[in-house]
Amino acid sequence: MILVTGGAGFIGSNFVLDWLAGSDEPVLNLDKLTYAGNLNNLVSLEGDARHVFVQGDICDGAAVLALLNEHRPRAILHFAAESHVDRSIHGPGEFINTNINGTFALLEAARSYWSALDADAKAAFRFLHVSTDEVYGSLGPHDAPFSETTAYAPNSPYSASKAASDHLVRAYHHTYGMPTLTTNCSNNYGPYHFPEKLIPLIIANALAGKALPIYGDGMQVRDWLFVSDHCAAIRKVLADGTPGEVYNVGGWNEMANLHVVHTLCDMLDRAAPKQGSYRDQIRYVTDRPGHDRRYAIDAGKLERELGWKPAETFESGIAKTVQWYLSNQAWVADVQSGAYQSWVQRNYANREEGK
């Protein structure tokens, strides 16, 4: 068995579904079910004995240790995190608690469990920490992409909290010898993505006839990675990664946010045509504080050492994503709760239209 934290969230649920589609090894899925955790993501696993779901908080170390001792997993895959930069600006406390204190509590429970294993199980155990490229800060237009040796320079409460969690994981390997692995990935997109992030927000707002808000000039550059490629990379790192190592995961798809939005509008013009173009709904709004200008990932180490590279291009991945959202409007409607709508209004209401 493996333990997945945050397995009802976007990347976590995709990983659980992907894992059980290709393996009969059971998954113990621990998720607090905050606003971004959605059991509807996992409805296809209802009645599947290979999926054991537990609602719980990684900050509760005693409860986590009890689960570890009961289910005896051979690995922990740590997805659980607060992950939205805008939310971290409005309320950094939750990010500190979950991403730093929660990771610490999880590491302590894992260390206690791992220390008591027999020699073979101890050597085979893995703690895989899923992190982000945002810990590296921001790149200039001509800077080399982030590598695993790039110095950390986080610029938001979210990225600072993830950087702290990365350091804790590193310290538990070097201090205690716990076999940890860390992956730092670029911007994911795909099915089950909560519509506060750029791609699902644009799709949802476009179809609802709402404004498509673009921060600043929209020329912030990100590397885009289809979520199934990320899942494949994590499986590869879990199977063959060297304990103590960091692996950057990227899609080799650098693209400005505005180009992504234009691509989505053009695809929707063809797939769900309306009078005029969806581009007509684009509105430029005041940029968010400390908005990093460019991220880019050098995923060469993962390809050289473990043989992984993405299977999807941006064109193929975004086509699958748009089709999924068009085919799953009930899922979108369900997650757009009153609480989510209140947050969207709070985040965008005070941003004057810029252009």
Q: Annotated catalytic sites, by residue?
A: 133-134, 158
Angle (CA) 292 295 298, round 5°: 160
Judge contact between 41 and 67, C-beta under 8 A. Answer: no
Residue 82 has a CB neighbour count (10 Å cut-off) of 23
DSSP of 31-59, one letter per residue? E---TT--GGGGGGGTT-TTEEEEE--TT
Q: Please give the DSSP secondary-structure letter assigned to residue 271.
A: H
Instruction: Name the H helices within the chain.
Output: 10-22, 61-71, 85-90, 92-95, 103-115, 119-124, 157-176, 198-207, 227-240, 257-271, 300-306, 314-327, 329-335, 338-349
Q: Please give the DSSP secondary-structure letter assigned to residue 302.
A: H
Beta strand 75-78 with 2-5: parallel, antiparallel or unpaired? parallel
> Is the dihedral angle over the CA atoms 153, 155, 159, 164 positive or is it negative?
positive
- Beta-carbon contacts of 5 under 8 Å, excluding residues fewer than 6 positions away, are 12, 30, 31, 58, 76, 77, 78, 79, 80, 106
